[in-house]
Amino acid sequence: MTSDKTITADAAGTWTLGDLTVNRMGFGAMRLPQQGTAFAAGSASGDRERAIAVLRNAVELGVNHIDTAAFYFSALRSANELINSALAPYADDLVITTKVGPGRDPSGGFLPPATPGQLRGQVEENLRQLGRDHLDVVNYRNQGADSIAEHFGALADLREAGLIRHLGISNVQARHLTEALAIAPVVCVQNKYALGLPGQDDALLDLCGDKGVAFVPFFAIAGAGRESGAGAAESEEVLAVARAHRATAAQIRIAWTLRRGPHVLAIPGTGNPDHLVENVAAGAIRLTDDEWAALNALHRAAPEV
């Protein structure tokens, strides 16, 4: 996708998380602390400077929804600290979404899922790292529990106490959304979702739309590659659409994701400045009906995972 004009995040349209209006094209901070695929070879200080520059460039491009978590960290840096260093004092329209539930020890190993009583400590950890007196949106990330009522209820109490403005849930099924809505308002559901990864989340995405809840996919570009990023050979269907729009396959995947519904928010993450510009520009791609049908057929034909 080529253009002499810089495309900004508002090209994707907007959605409201409770009373917070965000551009549907956002940014995921998970990759920022990582080495290897997230950054070109270079010094640790150079990587840090590059990450800070990417965050600032994202905001300059109109991104006002950033997804992060205290457990996004490497041996050298954390996503929350990078966000604080790059963007504080924060713009009034910047919405920072974080998540709690998982925890990691200093070596990076994952701890047992947090108990309801431990969630306050995780919320306060995010507050300290981000340098804020409240969190805009906190997702409770489920780690396989059949019920999330007790954990979500604990976060609802912290919302009443003023530490959290809005609540969301992550890594959940439809029954968890029903369970959470009976306790407190839910503004977003964040689940793994991508073109070519069909399954129960297709129905959950539609259910969120019916209920006015944002659906926020992660791994929308990486798909089955998950944390390691997109690495598998791309399908000819996606490549054909990419050629028609003079775009990359990643941009077409983002465009397809956004077209799934006006309540769908994209949060692609990158430590590469050029990829950031490309990701934001994908919000301006408008698929034709024939392209949409071809990509949907590809999605439905993929084996469930």
The two most distant CA atoms of the chain are separated, in Å, by 53
Fill in the DSSP letter of residue 36: G
Helices (H), 236-272: 236-245, 249-259
CA neighbours within 13 Å on the CB side: how many for 147? 6
Residue 42's contacts (CB-CB under 8 Å, 6 or more residues apart) are 50
Q: Where does the chain show beta strands of DSSP type E?
A: 14-17, 20-23, 27-28, 65-67, 95-100, 135-141, 164-170, 188-192, 214-218
pLDDT for 45 equals: 60
184 Cα distance to chain centroid? 22
- Give residues with Cβ within 8 angstroms of 245, minimum separation 6: 1, 251, 252, 255, 285
Long-range contact set of residues 143-146: C-beta below 8 Å, sequence gap at least 24: 143/101, 143/102, 143/113, 143/171, 145/113
Type of residue numbered 9: A
Q: Beta-carbon neighbour count of residue 125 at 10 Å?
A: 17
**Residue holding tokens 């805009």?**
136
209-238: b or e for each residue (b if 16 or more CB lie within 10 Å)?
A: beeebbbbbbbbbbbeeeeebbeeeebebb
The closest alpha carbon to 138, from 157, 163, 164, 161, belongs to 164
CA distance 186 to 121: 21
- For 74, the token pair is 């490497």
Known catalytic residue: 72? yes
Three-state DSSP class for residue 299:
helix
Residue of 72, 90, 140, 193 with catalytic role: 72
* Nearest CA among 218, 238, 240, 214 for reference residue 227: 218
Q: How far is CA 160 from the centre of its chain?
A: 25
Phi, psi of 120 (to 5 degrees): -60, -45
Domain 13-233+259-271 has CATH 3.20.20.100: yes
Q: Which two tokens stand for residue 164?
A: 């959290």
- The pTM of this model reads 0.92
The C-alpha atoms of residue 84 and residue 130 are separated, in whole angstroms, by: 5
* Mean pLDDT, 10 residues at a time, the chain of 305 residues: 75 98 97 59 67 98 98 94 98 98 92 96 98 98 97 98 98 97 98 86 96 95 50 84 97 97 97 96 98 95 71
Residue located via tokens 């073109």? 195
